[in-house]
């Protein structure tokens, strides 16, 4: 930095004058940089806090949905027991109806009556779709209970070389099993063996059908 000193004499007193320098400009720039750093730190802290709050909120809502759906599943399991008495649900037809389906629904979900046809993304109009009122009136969830059929097993990976059940209904081929032709009910019991296992048969069965329970929490 170039500097030039000037020395003047006023009334016999020597005065030293220094030229103006760039120090004032440097201080201004340093101040602006400091403010920018504080702004960045503040923005980062805000974004971090906001992100943490969102994560905490999402976690709380996911746990709420999980336990709400689990409560619905437990009610369905209870109702499937004969000991549930008047609250029990079951397919009383003989032979049992492959399209049997029951919805367990809170008296109101979101303040309005819940309609399976619009509320269940997997609704099937060919099922019986009976509705019963849930015993848990304060938990906003709905539960669907239906028989497991050969189509469900095929969707889960069942093949003749890697079977999920014993196909004893006289039609062992799975080629014709589709979403429109779901095959027979899969039962669970002692079909021809000393060990309980899933199987199909033609006609009525004394063993209980395997049931599929779907439980959904409604916010």
Please determine, for residue 121, whether its predicted confidence score (pLDDT) is greater than 80. yes
Give 164-175 pLDDT, tens digit per residue.
Answer: 999 988 887 888
What is the pLDDT, as a whole number, of residue 219? 74
Q: What burial class does residue 198 get, using C-beta atoms within 10 Å of its C-beta: 0-12 exposed, 13-18 middle, 19+ buried?
A: buried
Structure tokens at 172: 């062992």
pLDDT, tens digit (0-9, with 9 covering 90-100), for 148-197: 999 999 999 999 889 999 998 888 788 889 989 999 999 999 887 788 99
Decide: 143 and 114 in contact? Cβ < 8 Å: no
- Cβ atoms of residues 170 and 198 within 8 Å: no
**CA-CA distance, 68 to 216, in Å (whole number)?**
8
Three-state secondary structure call for residue 208? coil
Q: 53-84: per-residue pLDDT in tens?
A: 788 878 888 888 899 899 999 999 999 998 88
Specify the pTM: 0.72
Mean pLDDT of 40-46: 82
Q: Report yes or no: 137 and 75 within 8 Å, Cβ to Cβ.
A: no
Give the DSSP H/E element, type plus range, for residue 19: none
Is the pLDDT score of 1 beyond 50?
Answer: no
What are phi and psi for residue 45, nearest 5 degrees?
-65, -40
């Amino acid at each position: 930095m170039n500097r030039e000193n000037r020395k003047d004499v006023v009334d016999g007193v020597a005065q030293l004058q220094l030229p103006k320098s760039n120090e004032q400009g440097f201080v201004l720039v340093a101040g602006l940089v400091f403010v920018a750093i504080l702004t960045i730190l503040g923005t980062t802290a805000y974004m971090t806090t906001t992100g943490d709050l969102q994560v905490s909120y999402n976690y709380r809502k996911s746990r709420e949905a999980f336990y709400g759906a689990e409560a619905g599943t437990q009610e369905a399991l209870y109702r499937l027991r004969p000991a549930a008495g008047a609250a029990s649900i079951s397919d009383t037809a003989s032979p049992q109806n492959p399209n049997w389906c029951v919805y367990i629904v809170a008296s109101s979900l979101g303040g309005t009556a819940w309609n399976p046809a619009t509320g269940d993304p997997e609704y099937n109009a060919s099922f019986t779709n009976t509705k019963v009122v849930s015993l848990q009136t304060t938990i906003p969830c709905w539960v669907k209970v239906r028989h497991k059929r050969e189509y469900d097993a095929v969707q889960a990976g069942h093949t003749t070389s890697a079977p999920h059940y014993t196909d004893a209904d006289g039609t062992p081929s799975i080629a014709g099993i589709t979403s429109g032709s779901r095959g027979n009910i899969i039962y669970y019991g002692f079909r021809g063996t000393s060990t309980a296992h899933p199987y199909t048969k033609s006609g009525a069965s004394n063993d209980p059908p395997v049931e599929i329970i779907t439980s959904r929490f409604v916010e």
